[in-house]
Amino acid sequence: MYGALDKSFIWAVKYPFDKRSIELLVDLEISLEEILSDRSFLQEANKKLKVILEEGRVPPIINGNPYRSFVIFYLQVLIVKATENSFVERRFIDAYSKFSSSFLLKENEENIKVLAKNLGINVKLYEINGEYYYGVPFYEFIKFTRKLSDKFWKIYYFPVDKGFVLLNKRNIVRLLQEAIRIRLFEIFFSIKATPKKIYSIAQDLIKEVRDIIPRNETQLKRDFITKDHRLYPPCIKYLLNNIDKGLSHSERFTLVTFLNAMGYKKEEIIQLFNLTPDFNEKMTRYQVEHILGLRGGKTRYSIPSCRKIVSYGFCKADDTCRRYSIIHPLKYVFLKKGPRK
């Protein structure tokens, strides 16, 4: 069955997110039902996912079938998506971005250039004193290194030639690791629904690894927090821009829950509503404290989903919302802010 396709499958195992790999998956015309009917696929996918979540690494493929390993990756993606757990998703993405970059260190110049192009980076090869360097357009260098905290990634540490930043092999691989991370996030955002059987498997997985999740939950929540309004979804920007004109109950509710998730304190939120034309401090304080679970039944309310916001009538979806099929305001912030380093 494999024969001449072996090389394609091996590439797909190393870089399953790549355009060439996805095209191969489509050409296989294999159905999800067919995969799920084979219990060994599910068992292997779960076994590898547990290693990823517990140890933060993708287990090595030993005497494995490249076709099988490639298909299992996408089965794992569906399971991770169905967990509806941001920590699990991030752990998986981080492990696979490092897994793929380890192969990149062994690739030749042309293969690195091809993968970079498929990830949206137009690399230009330079040969200087017998060594290859990879020229990355300035704006792409900034885009993929802005989340790297190491001061080493400041632009003035690298030679620049006519708008191209020159990187050695190790540095281009580190930059591509960030591009891979973004591509994997895009794949997860593109999944709109998962089968019930996958959902059931995902919930069982969460139960098995629940002990490692609480230790990371606090840090994960911090990754969402930002008071930079530029990173907020268009519906929230709309509410902030129109607060001085007055907001409906559903608009106030959405804004309070969202700002609280972004790290705004109760008094800061109350002070913000001072801009409304009908501001009443006593009533505003009561409403805010009620939404935050500080009064009444002490129920702390969550941010409405995008579906709810559409029903409320103030959805202002932009290109990002549509491109990544955003279903919750926090997903928008997470996408814009990117993984924390």
Scan for tokens 């490692």, then name that residue. Answer: 212
**207 and 249 in a common domain:** no
Reading the block at residue 244, the tokens are 């001085």
The identity of residue 124, as a single letter, is K
28 belongs to a structural domain: yes
- Give the β-pairing of 131-137 and 164-167: antiparallel
For 1, counting Cβ atoms within 10 Å of its Cβ (0-12 exposed, 13-18 middle, 19+ buried), the class is exposed
The whole model's pTM is what? 0.62
pLDDT digits (tens, 9 = 90+) for 84-133: 787 788 889 989 999 999 999 999 999 999 999 999 899 999 988 888 99
221 has pLDDT over 60: no
**328 and 231 in a common domain:** yes
178 belongs to a structural domain: no
Q: How many domains does the chain have?
A: 3
174 belongs to a structural domain: no
pLDDT digits (tens, 9 = 90+) for 273-296: 888 877 888 999 999 999 998 877
The identity of residue 158, as a single letter, is F
Reading the block at residue 141, the tokens are 């260098």
The identity of residue 191, as a single letter, is I
Neighbours of 124 (CB within 10 A): 15
DSSP-assigned letter for residue 58: P
224 has pLDDT over 70: no
Dihedral over Cα of 58, 60, 202, 68: its sign: positive
What is the C-alpha to C-alpha distance for residues 308 and 250, in angstroms, rounded to an integer?
A: 10
Report the pLDDT averaged over residues 246-264. Answer: 91
15 belongs to a structural domain: yes
pLDDT digits (tens, 9 = 90+) for 149-162: 566 788 888 999 99
Report the pLDDT averaged over residues 161-165. Answer: 92
What is the C-alpha to C-alpha distance for residues 337 and 141, in angstroms, rounded to an integer?
A: 17
**147 and 22 in a common domain:** no
Residues 286 and 255: beta-carbon distance below 8 Å: no
**86 and 32 in a common domain:** yes
255 belongs to a structural domain: yes
- CA 245 remoteness from chain centre: 35
52 belongs to a structural domain: yes
Residues 303 and 257: beta-carbon distance below 8 Å: yes
What is the C-alpha to C-alpha distance for residues 199 and 82, in angstroms, rounded to an integer?
A: 5
33 has pLDDT over 90: no
* 131-137 β-sheet, strand order: 124-128, 131-137, 164-167, 160-161
**249 and 125 in a common domain:** no
181 belongs to a structural domain: no
- Which structural domain, as residue segments, surrounds residue 133? 109-169
Averaged confidence pLDDT in the chain: 84
E runs forming strands in the chain: 124-128, 131-137, 160-161, 164-167
338 has pLDDT over 70: no
154 belongs to a structural domain: yes
**199 and 64 in a common domain:** yes
**135 and 55 in a common domain:** no
**Least confident interval from 24-28, 213-217, 226-230, 231-235:** 213-217
- Give the β-pairing of 124-128 and 131-137: antiparallel
